[in-house]
Amino acid sequence: MKQKALDYHSQGRRGKIEVISSKPCNTQNDLSMAYTPGVSEPCREIVADPEAVYKYTARGNLVAVISNGTAVLGLGNIGPLAGKPVMEGKGILFKRFADIDVFDLELDANDPNDVIKIVQALEPTFGGINLEDIKAPECFYIEEELKKRMNIPVFHDDQHGTAIISGAALINAVKLQNKKLDEVRIVFSGAGAAAISCANHYIRLGVKRENCLLVDSKGVVYKGRSDGMNKYKEPFAAETSKRTLREAMEGADVFAGLSQGGLVDQAMVKNMADRPVVFALANPDPEISYPDACAARNDLIMATGRSDFPNQVNNVLGFPFIFRGALDVHALTINEEMKIAATNALASLAQRGAVPKEVLDAYGLQTLDFGPEYIIPKPMDPRVLVEVSFAVAKAAIESGSARKTVDLDKYKSQLEQVSRTLRK
């Protein structure tokens, strides 16, 4: 596997991305249009009307994937240089799933204020900013400040991508277990970017804050605790006598693992409430393996971050399509309404069933129906682009984030055409 991966990245053209021209550049006339003197004409149009930049340049379909390499996948703080293969990979996922172009930018900047200053200065180049693999709690501050200062969408995928997609899984899992969002008790293992964002998003979906317990490396986050606290954990400090993850999971309806592998054993799953939901999302090794959890309980619904088990919570179900919808209406930001719309679109699509044959073939399946082993759509489902991008664009227009209004019926048809083109 190691050699195959190294060969994949090194053979032929190095890396995974390249820049190609979208206009001909073969003749003297082509050169005069692409550069001087012809290029001066769109420049003058943009001076007269800054919004014309979306008509005459690639800005409206260009996203920056930006990282300082301080929290890369499961590798930790490996730095911007070693993180570049991951950012290139993110770029090809944007292109493959939503036909969005990407420049990956790896910053040699550990000071959050330096990151903010650099990214803010890039606004004229891009239609959106995808922050990636920046460690907590700095990532919260960086995104908050950039959203205040910039008039294009800024989205930290490690936070919101996982929250949006697992939120869809939560809606459907709770529904299948005959429970209600405003009644379930949830334990979050982890208190980093993904865990805190998931907790906040679940609350926006209907979970009650008082029914949430956050557990970090030092134990339960409770009122009065001083060790290892920060302003992002503080809102989840609970009035409880529970102090460990094991104690927290007793009687819980939902376990949301966003921490590290091997933290949960079968006894802890057995001590959860009837018909539990287990999201063991640590990668590559879940907090408890799918086989172990299923062996412990036959009444659970489980999701992991792995592709070799049912219900994979995969961020590629979110960011390409969220940005597609945001870019197409020239959104100022990706707000909470747009995130909730994306979650609901994913949840509804899984409930709809009728999975296309090409998706079944891609996963070697005969059938795939809404149920315990299918609570979120598969990444290869071409309907995801249409449903999620449409929902995000519509929410952007309705919430006031959009600078451009589109005919929604025509827009859905356009998305269907993009989806067909990407499948060829």
Residue with tokens 């979650």: 343
Our answer to whether residue 202 is catalytic in this structure is no
Backbone angles phi, psi at 279, to 5 degrees: -110, 100
d(CA 260, CA 280): 9
SS3 sequence of 105-174 = EECCCCCHHHHHHHHHHCCCCCCEEEECCCCCCHHHHHHHHHHHHCCCCEEEHHHHHHHHHHHHHHHHHH
Backbone angles phi, psi at 129, to 5 degrees: -120, 120
Strand order in the sheet with 101-106: 101-106, 62-67, 128-131, 154-156
3-state secondary structure of 215: strand
Q: Show the tokens assigned to 169.
A: 């899984």
Tell the burial category of 273 from Cβ atoms under 10 Å away from its Cβ (0-12, 13-18, 19+): middle
The set of long-range contacts for 408-415, using a CB threshold of 8 Å and a minimum separation of 24, is: 411/328, 412/386, 415/324, 415/385, 415/386, 415/389, 415/390
Q: What is the H or E stretch that residue 174 is in? A: helix 157-176
Tell the burial category of 60 from Cβ atoms under 10 Å away from its Cβ (0-12, 13-18, 19+): middle
d(CA 55, CA 45): 10
Our answer to whether residue 35 is catalytic in this structure is yes
Q: Residues 55, 84, 90, 179: which is the catalytic one?
A: 90
Cβ–Cβ under 8 Å, residues 166 and 281 = yes
Q: What is the DSSP string of 312-323?
A: B--GGGTHHHHH
Name residue 238's amino acid: A
Helix 319-328 to helix 383-399 angle (10° resolution) is 50
Q: Residues 4, 23, 35, 179: which is the catalytic one?
A: 35
E strands, 281-412, are 301-304
Maximum separation of any 2 CA atoms in the chain, in Å: 77
d(CA 12, CA 34): 29
Enumerate the H helices of 11-78 as residue ranges: 28-34, 40-48, 53-56
Which DSSP letter does residue 374 get? Answer: B
Q: Distance between terminal CA atoms of the chain?
A: 29
Residue with tokens 């069933």: 353
Residues identified as active-site: 35, 90
